[in-house]
Amino acid sequence: MDQNKLIVSNWKMNLNLSDSKKLINKLIKSTFKKKPYLKNIICPQFLLIPSISNLIKDSHLLLGAQNCHFERKGAFTGESSIELLKQFNCKYVILGHSERRLYSADSNLLVKKKIKIAISEEIKPIVCIGEPLEFRKNKSYLKFLEQQLNECVPECSEIIIAYEPIWSIGTGLVPDYEEIYEVQNYVKSFLKNNKFIKKISVLYGGSVSSNNIAHIIKKSKVDGALIGGSSLDDKEILKIISIL
164 included as an active-site residue:
yes
Q: What is the H or E stretch that residue 19 is in?
A: helix 17-29
Within 6-25, which residues bind ligand PGA (CB under 6 A)?
Answer: 10
Within 213-242, which residues bind ligand PGA (CB under 6 A)?
Answer: 226-230
97 included as an active-site residue:
yes
Residue type, position 218, single letter: K
Within 169-198, which residues bind ligand PGA (CB under 6 A)?
Answer: 169-170
Catalytic residue among 69, 99, 131, 164: 164
152 with 115: CB under 8 angstroms?
yes
Please identify, among the stretches 26-34, 55-63, 153-161, 205-213, the one whose residues bind ligand PGA according to the rule CB under 6 A: 205-213
Catalytic residue among 60, 79, 97, 179: 97
Judged on CB neighbours under 10 Å (0-12, 13-18, 19+), 127 is buried
Nearer to ligand PGA, 36 or 133 (CB): 133
Question: Can you tell me which of 207, 213, 222, 224 binds ligand PGA, judged by CB under 6 A?
Answer: 207
Distance of CA 227 to the CA centre of its chain: 8
Rounded CA separation 4/158 (Å)? 15
Please identify, among the stretches 60-68, 102-110, 140-148, 202-210, the one whose residues bind ligand PGA according to the rule CB under 6 A: 202-210
Helix axes 141-152, 177-191, angle to 10 degrees: 40
Nearer to ligand PGA, 177 or 198 (CB): 177
**Residue 60, CA distances (Å) to 31, 40, 64 in order:** 10, 7, 13
Nearer to ligand PGA, 71 or 179 (CB): 179
Q: How many CA within 13 A on the CB side of residue 9?
A: 29
Question: Can you tell me which of 43, 101, 123, 164 binds ligand PGA, judged by CB under 6 A?
Answer: 164
DSSP 204: E
* 205 binds ligand PGA, rule: CB under 6 A: yes
Distance of CA 30 to the CA centre of its chain: 22
Shortest approach of ligand PGA to residue 70 CB, angstroms? 21
Nearer to ligand PGA, 30 or 230 (CB): 230
Nearer to ligand PGA, 9 or 30 (CB): 9
Helices within 89-223 (DSSP H only): 98-103, 108-120, 133-137, 141-152, 177-191, 213-219
Please identify, among the stretches 41-49, 67-75, 148-156, 199-207, the one whose residues bind ligand PGA according to the rule CB under 6 A: 199-207
Q: Give catalytic residue positions.
A: 97, 164
Site residues for ligand PGA per CB under 6 A: 10, 164, 169-170, 205-208, 226-230
